[in-house]
């Protein structure tokens, strides 16, 4: 059971998406695990063969316990006996769950199944292999109420997870805060012009160029980008940015987009849309929950001016962006009305000082003044 | 399309971009931002969905006219959809 963040101590196996005996490839989704952050897709890190599963749907498993045996084919002492043993197991499973392969489960169906405590892997899909609400309801009508209810997405649980992570942060990380009001008129003007030339579907939220510029500026301030573990800071060569996304009804989650600085605007737009969509439908991937090297928390339109964010361990910085609002602003000795955003860096004193954050903000201000050459 | 069909179209788009709201009752007068904690991304996805489902070209300047269900129905109706 992988750890999907500093605040996770156990997970509930929802379903296997591969069966023992299947060939697996790096990036394949092996299983779905229910956590305090919703249903998470567990990815495979190397090619090989899925030998055996040691947990069943509905099992609550502590972090670190073995749930599956994967054979990368590298170990010379590949247990042939074990492999041979795995074959009949696979056959038995296949008989019990003949329809578990190549199925697609809609998020709504998954939620309904979870809420009614149903094992989704036993629901018969329609002719095209899709398990939808109709199939779940039909299954419920046949089988009646289940004997063992399993977990469901629970905002109270998520609140506990947030509390645990933030309490650890405040306990362990000596925070400092450095903030600047930055004129983003040039960015907003550039964006309005850019969006006027784009079709509806391709328009950019200001968060897209903003995150892009934040990430590129962070590459020059390595002491704010990385992870601090076991008393040691490891700076990162790429910016894997956790994006704080609020859940409807309360709660917050900050899954990571990898290598934000290396992405073009449209690539980042697509990643961000995809990520928010999967947060809303409760389907994140394991690598998105543990790989972040920094977090961006953008309050967005019609919210508030300033936020003082709390670092998510094991990261060492978080950048908070307030709403953009028109303000009186002195430029070239005169007062103008400009679009202003307050940006705050929370840094970790075990790794850096306020001076690093101040340097970052001053570089950021220069880049934001010329967004077209970002 | 009549008002009811337009209202159904808007609701379908709404539930497509916010699947976690599926089945929620929609008050036609209250802006989505207030009613459903819509953020900028939700709203942009909603506009994209509305464009795809109705074929209407929606310039950025018109976004404030699409705040609630009633707003959307009036806006689409004015474009003879």
Q: Which among A107, A249, A300 has the least Cβ separation from residue B39?
A: A300
Instruction: Identify the pLDDT of residue A97.
Output: 36
Q: Scanning every residue of chain A, which has its alpha carbon at the shortest distance from the alpha carbon of B49?
A: A201
Shortest distance between the Cα of B58 and any Cα of chain A, in A, equals 7
Instruction: Identify the pLDDT of residue A272.
Output: 94
Give me the mean pLDDT over the A349-360 stretch: 98
Q: How many CB pairs under 8 A join A and B?
A: 48
Q: What ipTM does the predicted assembly reach? A: 0.84
The structure tokens 């023992």 sit at: A20
Instruction: Identify the pLDDT of residue A150.
Output: 30
Give me the mean pLDDT over the A39-60 stretch: 86
- The verdict on a CB contact (< 8 Å) between B57 and A108 is no
What confidence category does residue A146 fall into, taking pLDDT thresholds of 50, 70 and 90?
very low
A156 vs A138, which has greater pLDDT?
A156
- Using an 8 Å Cβ cutoff, are A54 and A67 in contact? yes
Instruction: Identify the pLDDT of residue A32.
Output: 86
Find chain A residues with C-beta within 8 A of B49's C-beta: none
Any chain B CB within 8 A of the CB of A366?
A: no
A277 vs B28, which has greater pLDDT?
B28
Whether the full predicted model's pTM is greater than 0.90, yes or no, is no
Any chain B CB within 8 A of the CB of A39?
A: no
Instruction: Identify the pLDDT of residue A179.
Output: 98
Q: A14-34: b or e for each residue (b if 16 or more CB lie within 10 Å)?
A: bbbbbebbeebeeebbbbbbb
Give me the mean pLDDT over the A8-30 stretch: 86
Mean pLDDT lowest among A57-66, B57-66, B68-77: A57-66
Mean pLDDT lowest among A112-116, A258-262, B71-75: A112-116
Q: What is the mean pLDDT of chain A?
A: 84
- The verdict on a CB contact (< 8 Å) between A200 and B47 is yes
Q: Which among A196, A248, A276 has the least Cβ separation from residue B41?
A: A276
Q: pLDDT digit string (tens) for A302-324?
A: 889 999 999 999 999 999 999 99
Looking at the DSSP bridge assignments, the partners of residue A34 are A12, A39
Q: Which two tokens stand for residue A351?
A: 């790794």
The percent of residues above 70 in pLDDT, for chain A, comes to: 86
């Amino acid at each position: 059971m992988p750890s999907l963040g500093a605040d996770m101590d156990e997970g509930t196996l929802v379903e296997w998406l591969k069966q023992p005996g299947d060939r697996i490839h790096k990036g394949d989704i092996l299983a779905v695990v229910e956590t305090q952050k919703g249903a998470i897709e567990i990815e495979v890190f190397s090619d090989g063969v899925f030998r055996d599963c040691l947990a069943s749907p509905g099992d609550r498993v502590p972090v670190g316990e073995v749930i599956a045996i994967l054979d990368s084919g590298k170990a010379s002492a590949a247990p042939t006996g074990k492999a041979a043993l795995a074959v009949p197991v696979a056959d038995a499973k296949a008989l019990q769950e003949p329809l578990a392969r190549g199925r697609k489960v809609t998020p709504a169906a998954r939620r309904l199944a979870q809420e009614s405590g149903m094992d989704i892997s036993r629901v018969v899909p329609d002719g095209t292999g899709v398990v939808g609400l109709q199939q779940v309801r039909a299954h419920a009508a046949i089988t009646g109420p289940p004997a063992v209810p399993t977990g469901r997405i629970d905002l109270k649980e998520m609140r506990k997870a947030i509390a645990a992570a933030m309490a650890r942060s405040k306990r362990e990380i000596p925070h400092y805060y450095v903030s600047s009001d930055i004129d983003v008129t040039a960015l907003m003007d550039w964006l309005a012009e850019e969006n006027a030339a784009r079709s509806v579907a391709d328009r950019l939220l200001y968060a897209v160029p903003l995150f892009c510029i934040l990430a590129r500026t962070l590459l020059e301030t390595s002491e704010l980008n990385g992870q601090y573990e076991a008393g040691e800071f490891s700076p990162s060569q790429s910016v894997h940015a956790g994006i704080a996304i609020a859940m409807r009804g309360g709660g917050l989650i900050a899954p990571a987009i990898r290598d934000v600085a290396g992405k073009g605007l449209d690539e980042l737009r697509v990643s961000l849309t995809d990520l928010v969509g999967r947060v809303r439908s409760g389907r994140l991937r394991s690598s998105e929950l543990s790989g972040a090297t920094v977090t961006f928390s953008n309050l967005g339109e019609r919210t508030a001016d300033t936020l003082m964010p709390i670092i998510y361990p094991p990261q060492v910085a978080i950048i908070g962006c307030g709403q953009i609002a028109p303000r009186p602003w002195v430029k070239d000795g005169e007062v103008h009305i400009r679009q202003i955003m307050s940006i705050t860096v929370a840094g970790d004193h075990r790794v850096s000082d306020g001076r690093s954050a101040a340097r970052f903000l001053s570089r950021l201000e220069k880049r934001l003044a010329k967004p077209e050459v970002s | 399309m009549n008002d009811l069909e337009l209202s159904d179209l808007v609701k379908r788009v709404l539930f497509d971009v916010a699947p976690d709201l599926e089945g929620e009752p929609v008050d036609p007068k209250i802006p989505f931002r207030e009613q459903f904690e819509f953020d900028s991304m939700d709203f942009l996805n909603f506009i994209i969905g509305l464009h795809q489902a109705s074929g209407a070209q929606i310039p950025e300047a018109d976004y404030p006219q699409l705040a609630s269900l009633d707003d959307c129905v009036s806006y689409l109706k004015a474009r003879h959809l």
